[in-house]
Amino acid sequence: MSKMIGIDLGTTNSCVAFMENGHATVIPNVEGGRTTPSVVAFTRSGERLVGQSAKRQAVTNAARTFSSVKREMGSDKSYRVDGKDYRPQELSAMILRKLKEDAEKYIGESVTDAVITVPAYFTDAQRQATKDAGTIAGLNVQRIINEPTSAALAYGFDRMDPRKVMVYDLGGGTFDVSILEIGHDMIEVIATAGNNHLGGDDFDQCVVGFLLDAFRKEHGMDLSKDPMAMQRLNEAAEKAKIELSSAKETTINLPFLAQTAKGPLHLETSLTRARFEELTAHLVEATRGPVQQSLQDAGLSPGEIDRVLLVGGSTRIPAVQEAVRKMMGREPSRDINPDECVAMGACLQGGVLTGAVNSLLLIDVTPLSLGIETLGDNFAQIIPRNTPLPCHHSQVFTTAANFQTSVEINVLQGERGTASGNRSLGKFRLDGIHRALRGIPQIEVTFTIDTNGIVQVTARDLGTNRSQDITITGSGNMSREEIQRAMRDAEMYAEQDRLKREAEAHHSSRSSRRDNNPQDDGAMEV
């Protein structure tokens, strides 16, 4: 049976793990790193680069290098290279394929099955897009699991004594907070909240803004439209942020950042931790709302939380740790590696599915309320947020006009009372309703959410028994035909990569033989 891997598909870095001798083991990539940069690039010769090799050449190839793609999952954004448009799912699939191939090299056998993590606050469209990315990468995605839940699973696997745990997950592009109850052989999510556009990238951009201002004041030039300069500023900002987690001050030195008729212009400045904290204070404060919301939804006070787990690389920022201390009135735990625990939890969930991990029940929740639009721009909630998964809820509606023979079902996700204030996941029409006065037809709308958090909606006329359903895919997601085409493209790239590696290995071998056997080399020339 093929091994099942657990994948943390991150905004900044990704990680993969598998079960080895009953324990979750992180798989290093072929470059030797335990995490892989979530970066994809296309060279001018058409070669595709993924991971560290893509990140290394980002400055000289900024327009053809893509990062933080996870933030666009489920949207209709595309990335154009050499006349071809790539969807976020396709670029994410390239990262997943590299993780898959690195895992196969490490394990020594084929890998086809995976559990992939997503932010707890990902919408249905974003979850489906992540699953599609796995399919394009050649993976059978057995389960989509929320990142905070996965981290709690990694933490609680060997600690099944009853306790309530908060997972504060601040990654590269998203923020989640979940409250879970860990009991004997069970981990149950009680409440979750978050922000899909808050993470380490935003802290970096605050530093980039600081550097742009410093350069503008010194040289009177705006670098924001220069892609190469901006890439260098982004890299310098990320490095400064990391250094300020342990140092009180850092120096940023970027020579030859711009060129003028009078010669090159350089940037050299210093950034203190205190100034960094001023620049990013609003971002740290933005995490307070979801923390309070999750506590309120769980019906708990900070003092009733037994342990606070910090997950995601951005939780290394001292100001973030201090904010958690103040909000929760306790020192956060550092019992788990914030960069690796999500992937480890995912592979443990894979172990549950394959039977390698026994007697462990994981109960997750839906992060946002779901319902439909009704007359007057109203949102009729059918499944409230934090409902345990899987779930199946129904509600009966009726027509709004006399002799109405069809209704349009607008499926919504969100917490606003108005339909227009929430996100539309998709629309479908139920036809053939028996002609009658308004209020008489009975139309049952049923929402079903599976263990991956993916939604299916059915509308049925109880009078005629006619029904129509939709599995939500979202306008930004790919059709079955597009997924099949992307899979063929991925296979083609994989074959090209294989042939290139074989050619390089053959060339290396011939060069080695020539170096070691000069007489043989001469005989061949004759």
Of 3, 55, 70, 100, which one is the catalytic site residue?
A: 70
- Three-state SS annotation for 187-206: EEEEEEEEECCCCHHHHHHH
Of 102, 169, 176, 202, which one is the catalytic site residue?
A: 169
Active-site residue 147, yes or no? yes
Active-site residue 241, yes or no? no
Whole-Å CA distances, 521 to 229, 374, 518, 525: 48, 82, 5, 7
Q: How far apart are CA 99 and CA 134, in angstroms?
A: 11
Q: Is 473 left (phi over 0), alpha (psi -120 to 50) or beta?
A: alpha
Phi, psi (deg, nearest 5) at residue 370: -125, 145
For 50, the enclosing helix (H) or strand (E) is: strand 48-50
Residue type, 337: N
User: Is residue 165 a contact partner of residue 305, using CB atoms and an 8 Å limit?
Assistant: yes
Q: How far apart are CA 189 and CA 192, in angstroms?
A: 8
The rounded Cα 298 to chain-centroid distance in angstroms is: 25
Active-site residue 322, yes or no? no
Phi, psi (deg, nearest 5) at residue 269: -150, 170
The rounded Cα 176 to chain-centroid distance in angstroms is: 11
Of 102, 132, 147, 373, which one is the catalytic site residue?
A: 147
The rounded Cα 115 to chain-centroid distance in angstroms is: 13
Q: How far apart are CA 174 and CA 167, in angstroms?
A: 13
Kindly report the CA angle at 276 between 275 and 278, in degrees rounded to 5?
65
Kindly report the CA angle at 12 between 7 and 15, in degrees rounded to 5?
25
195, 168, 167, 199: which is closest to 314 by C-alpha? 199
Of 3, 8, 100, 181, which one is the catalytic site residue?
A: 8
Q: How far apart are CA 111 and CA 102, in angstroms?
A: 10
Give catalytic residue positions.
8, 70, 147, 169
